[in-house]
Each structure stands twice: as C-alpha cells, then as structure tokens.
Amino acid sequence: MTTPVKGYAAHSPTGRLGLFAFDRRSPRADDVVIEILYCGVCHSDLHNVRNDWGNAQYPMVPGHEIIGRVIDVGPEVTRFKAGDRVGVGCLVDSCRHCGACGKGWEQYCENGATYTYNGTDPVDGTRTQGGYSEKVVVAEHFVLKVPDALDLAGAAPLLCAGITLYSPLRHWGVQPGSRVAIVGLGGLGHMGLKLAKAMGAEVTLFSRSPGKEADARRLGADRIVISTAPAQMAGVAGQFDLIVDTVPYAHDVNPYVPTLATGGTMVMVGYLGPLEGFNSGPLVFSRRALAGSLIGGIAETQEMLDFCGQHGITSDIEVVRIQDINEAYERLLNADVKYRFVIDMASLKDEVRA
C-alpha cells in the first residue's frame, strides 16, 4: 500500500507552488522511510519548476537537499535505524552496475540516474517527488548519514551546493598549497570558499562586486579579484591551478582562462548551455583545460559530509516557512539571500494539522 502525504507542488511553469496531496510508495526491502525536517532551496529547483531545461513534468514537488530522521526501514536495511539523522541529495537511484556506477559516479550513470524529483522510478515507472514534503522513501544505498557535529538546517545545502563544489576540488587534487579561484559568490560560491580553505588551498574569489570583499574573507578567501577590472585580471595571469565557475547564467568565460597556470583547469558547475564566442587559443597554448562537473557520487557525498563534520562546515542559511516558498523564489531570482534558503518543514506539518 502507498502512503498519502502532503507537500508543496508546482502545477505549471508560471503558477505558484501550493499544498498538494500525493502518495509515497510502500517501503521495499531495502528502503528507508524518512520524516523530512528541513529541505534546502536550490537554484535548480527554480529552473525545474519554470521548465527552463525543457523537461519538467507536473505536478512537481521540488527539493533535493533533504535532511530528516529515519522513521522506518525495510527488512534488508543494515546501515540505518529509526531515529538516525540522515540526508538525501539529488539522486535516489541509478542502475548500479554500469562503468560509471562501478566507479562510484552514480550521477553519471550510463543508463540514466534517477533524480530525487522530476524523475522516473525505474521499478514502477512513477514520477519521483522531492523534499518539499512530509516524508520520503529512498533506497538505502542513496541515504546518507549526517554527522552529529552538523547543524541539521545548515547541513541541508551541503547535499547539493556542498557536493557540487567538493567533488571538483577533490577530483582535481586540491591540497595544501594549491592555488584555487572561485568565480561568483552565491549559494555555490560561498561553499567553494569554505571547502577550498579547509583543504588548505590559497583561495581567491573572482567577483564583479568590490562590496563582497569582507564577506568573501569571512568565508575563507585570501583575496578578491574584480573580474571587470582589466588591471586586476592581468595581475593574476597564469596563477591558478584550478578555477571553479559557479555562475548560474550565460557569461563570458574568456577573461578567466588566462589566469590559469600552465596545465590548469577551469571547471563549470553553475551554467548549463553554450559558451558563445569562446576562444580556445589560451587553452591550446598552455595545456589548459575547460571541464564540467555534476554534483558527486554517493560515497563521495558521504565523504563530503564527514569532512564538513570534521571541519565544522555548514552553509550560511536563511530559514523560511514552506508557505513563503514563492516569495523565496522571487528573492532567489534577485540574488537576495546569503547564501541559501532552507525550509523548516515543521511549517508544513502545522499547515496540514490546521
């Protein structure tokens, strides 16, 4: 039997999210049933709700930065029990046997990863619905342990923003002495500063806004370079081993490439789309690389949570009620948040009980 639950859903690209009743699947043998306590609000929630990527299916319950408490487990579950603090990120399934899955890269599953919402359950064909809801049912493999040291609300954005930055920093070998630059100071960028600093890197922020320097330094930047100031950009030519570009919209990446050291890499994690007018010359003549990175695999996400627990890293957040989600989306569009919204799901319980 399925379980009826309530959540907040979008019914069209232009409509407001509102209360929505739907069913969660009955727990399978390896499933974990989770009461959702907090859910982060990701910029990709907004993209999906508004069908910016052209694959939205409605009604859609967004949310893939889920923090909660285990309330039930299937008979084959061995790693979790009722009462455990857990998280669920962007993925709730993959084929688990392709080459990518075998490497722990479930996000690159060659047969198609199953996303936490706006995806299709590979077992029963139903649409997946996300964390703006009371409960979620997820296979044990895709459930994460949340270290006791982490504040639950502040940990929610780690499940997308955190791993989105942690994965490229780890993959490209950031260590003490590495020279790392982060492009953009938003929900992703602020996590990049914190994580790169904790890994021992020398950290620079590229920003268009001189007014962000104090906050950037508080978050871990050793310096800020104004990307619209040619003299400042020339002053850091050839310096960086790794640049992680977190900007979520189309922009000119050409000015950043010459600031890479010979053999350095620039990684795109924010913008999905064509790079108009890109000049490959600075790549070719200095063996530089332009790459992309998508979230992280499950084992790596657990590693990231443990790293954050050891270093006391959470996201800078503003907690909101679920009833204010539409206003939060408008503020997100205007970059009016430092640096992530997190929904306190107690507000949904209050509405359902009323």
CA 210 to chain centre: 26
DSSP 8-class letter at 194: H
Mean per-residue pLDDT of the chain: 97
Q: b/e map of 79-114 (b: 16 or more CB within 10 Å)? A: ebeeebbbbbbbbbbbeeebebbeeebbbbbeeebb
Q: What pLDDT is attached to residue 175? A: 98
Q: What pLDDT is attached to residue 218? A: 98
For tokens 């859910």, what's the residue?
A: 39
Average pLDDT over residues 16-26: 97
Average pLDDT over residues 32-51: 97
CB 216 within 8 A of CB 207: yes
Residues 118, 334: Cα–Cα separation, whole Å: 25
**What are the backbone angles phi and psi of residue 93, rounded to the nearest 5°?**
-170, 165
Q: What pLDDT is attached to residue 191? A: 99
Q: Per-residue pLDDT tens for 171-195?
A: 999 999 999 999 999 999 999 999 9
Q: What CATH homologous superfamily does 161-292 map to?
A: NAD(P)-binding Rossmann-like Domain (3.40.50.720)
DSSP 8-class letter at 294: -
Note the pTM of the prediction, 2 decimals: 0.96
pLDDT-derived band at 354, boundaries 50, 70, 90: confident
> Which residue type does 251 have?
H
Average pLDDT over residues 185-213: 97
Q: What pLDDT is attached to residue 288? A: 99
Instruction: Judge whether residue 234 has pLDDT over 80.
Output: yes
Residues 23, 129: Cα–Cα separation, whole Å: 9
For tokens 């992680």, what's the residue?
A: 244
3-state DSSP assignment of residue 128: coil
3-state DSSP assignment of residue 108: helix
Average pLDDT over residues 28-47: 97
Q: What pLDDT is attached to residue 110? A: 98
Q: What pLDDT is attached to residue 156? A: 99
Q: What pLDDT is attached to residue 179? A: 99
> Which residue type does 125 have?
G
Instruction: Check if CATH label 3.90.180.10 holds for domain 3-160+314-353.
Output: yes
DSSP 8-class letter at 178: -
Q: Is 315 exposed, middle or buried (0-12, 13-18, 19+ CB in 10 A)?
A: buried
CB 291 within 8 A of CB 135: no
Where helices occur in 107-186 by DSSP H, the ranges are 152-155, 161-171
Largest CA distance in the chain: 65
Residues 276, 333: Cα–Cα separation, whole Å: 23
Average pLDDT over residues 211-240: 97
**167 to 25, 92, 216, 225, 272: CA distances (angstroms):** 31, 18, 21, 24, 17
Q: What pLDDT is attached to residue 250? A: 94
Instruction: Return the percentage of the chain with pLDDT > 90, whole number.
Output: 98
Q: At what angle do helices 298-311 and 161-171 cross, to 10 degrees?
A: 100
Q: What pLDDT is attached to residue 1? A: 73
Average pLDDT over residues 237-248: 98
Choose among 41, 290, 304, 264: nearest CA to 167: 304
Q: What pLDDT is attached to residue 210? A: 93
User: What are the residue boundaries of the structural domains of the chain, listed by start?
Assistant: 3-160+314-353, 161-292
Instruction: Judge whether residue 161 has pLDDT over 90.
Output: yes
3-state DSSP assignment of residue 179: strand
CB 345 within 8 A of CB 38: yes
Residue 91 CB-half CA count within 13 A: 28
Number of neighbouring beta carbons within 10 Å of residue 149: 14
Q: What pLDDT is attached to residue 52? A: 92
What sign does the dihedral 184-39-115-129 (CA atoms) show? negative
Average pLDDT over residues 207-235: 97
Calculated CA dihedral for residues 121, 119, 151, 245, nearest 10 degrees: 140
